[in-house]
Structure 1
Amino acid sequence: MVPLVALVVVTLVLLGVGRLRSWHWVVAVRGGLAAMFTLTGGAHFIGMREELISMVPPALPAPGLLVTITGVLELAAVVGLLWRPTAPWAAAGLTALLLAMFPANVHKALGENVPWDDQLVPRTLMQVVFLAATVSVVLHCLRGQAMIASHDRPVAESAARR
């Protein structure tokens, strides 16, 4: 639940700041994602490491190594989210990572004596919110590139006619 709170609160704060500074909404979402993945990536090494290792489905080899690798990828993506040219790549990577790690969430949710916020429906809904945020960054950047390309096309075509 803490990652969801971090994503929502930081995004809302940055949206408020962005209104004063004329930032685009995607900057706020990137900041919220960066805050969230700083928390979750750090948890792969400090505080929750053993719990995260226990979430890895038994069919997968080297759970400790998998937790280390995913933690490093999350923290690297945080840096990527904060630099505009790499933000869409980082968000796309996080989208893939969220999908790849979902079986671990299911494995945890189907365990015994699971708190309500770790059960399958709440965990799945949180994952949907996280995916919506990462995908919105990717789509915004792709849409922006498509708009730039469409604006450049008439210029290039008219230059070719000359």
Structure 2
Amino acid sequence: MAPVITLAAATLLARLTGLLGADALDDWQLCLRIGLAAMFTLTGAVHFVPTFRDDMIRMIPPRLPAPAALVALTGALELAGAAGLLIPATATAAAICLAALLAAMYPANYSAARRGVPLAGKPATPLGIRTAEQVLFIALCALAAL
């Protein structure tokens, strides 16, 4: 739920700032990219926080090799994508790559939901909610890429 809240709050705050006179933020797509960047900064950073990292490692489907390395790699890619969203020359490519990354990470979310893997001591998110969130994030990345 924290990623959804971060995304919504950052996007709305950026848009409100634009409506209050910051001409640079008078563009819904830029505000969406800021919201996505905030969300991916949060989600990317927690890949390196021990409490979350251990659970994320357990989320990786057992058939995949080197789960710790995969968690580090996806965290680094999320952080790089977040930065890329904020640079006009790379924003479109970053949004497309983040959408692809979300799709590639879905098997871990599916596996975690099916196996009941908790995250930071909280119960596992049900599969339907995980899927809806992934679809939402991918759709918003696609909108940010336009």
Q: Measured at CA, do residues 95 and 112 of structure 1 come closer, stay the same or move farther in structure 2, by a change above 3 Å?
A: closer
Give the aligned partner of residue 5 of structure 1.
5
Distance 2:12 2:34 in 1: 10
Q: Measured at CA, do residues 76 and 16 of structure 1 come closer, stay the same or move farther in structure 2, by a change above 3 Å?
A: same
Q: Give how far 1:116 is off.
A: 7.1
> Normalising by the residue count of structure 1, what TM-score does the alignment of the two structures yield?
0.81
Q: Which amino acid is the alignment partner of residue 85 of structure 1?
A: A
Q: Give how far 1:112 is off.
A: 3.5
Q: Which amino acid is the alignment partner of residue 8 of structure 1?
A: A
SS in 1 for 2:90: helix
SS in 2 for 1:44: helix
Q: Which amino acid is the alignment partner of residue 9 of structure 2?
A: V
Q: Measured at CA, do residues 65 and 7 of structure 1 come closer, stay the same or move farther in structure 2, by a change above 3 Å?
A: same
Instruction: Please tell me whether the aligned partners of residues 59 and 117 of structure 2 are also in contact (alpha carbons under 8 angstroms).
Output: no
**Greater helix percent: which structure?**
1
Which of 34, 43, 47 pairs up with 1:44? 47
The superposition leaves residues 16-49 of structure 1 with CA deviations (integer Å, 9 ceiling, x where unpaired) of 1122223210111001001100110001101410
Give the aligned partner of residue 61 of structure 1.
65
Larger Rg over CA atoms = 1
Aligned residue pairs, count: 139
Instruction: Please tell me whether the aligned partners of residues 44 and 79 of structure 2 are also in contact (alpha carbons under 8 angstroms).
Output: yes
Unpaired stretches in structure 1, ≥5 consecutive residues:
141-162
Q: Give how far 1:9 is off.
A: 1.0
Give the aligned partner of residue 134 of structure 1.
141
SS in 1 for 2:133: helix
Instruction: Please tell me whether the aligned partners of residues 117 and 123 of structure 1 are also in contact (alpha carbons under 8 angstroms).
Output: no
Unpaired stretches in structure 2, ≥5 consecutive residues:
none
Q: Give how far 1:15 is off.
A: 1.1
Q: Which amino acid is the alignment partner of residue 48 of structure 2?
A: F
Q: Measured at CA, do residues 99 and 70 of structure 1 come closer, stay the same or move farther in structure 2, by a change above 3 Å?
A: same
Give the aligned partner of residue 152 of structure 1.
none
Q: Which amino acid is the alignment partner of residue 131 of structure 1?
A: I
* Aligned-CA RMSD value: 1.6
The alignment status of 1:119 with 2:120, answered yes or no, reads no
Q: Give how far 1:123 is off.
A: 0.8
Instruction: Please tell me whether the aligned partners of residues 45 and 68 of structure 1 are also in contact (alpha carbons under 8 angstroms).
Output: yes
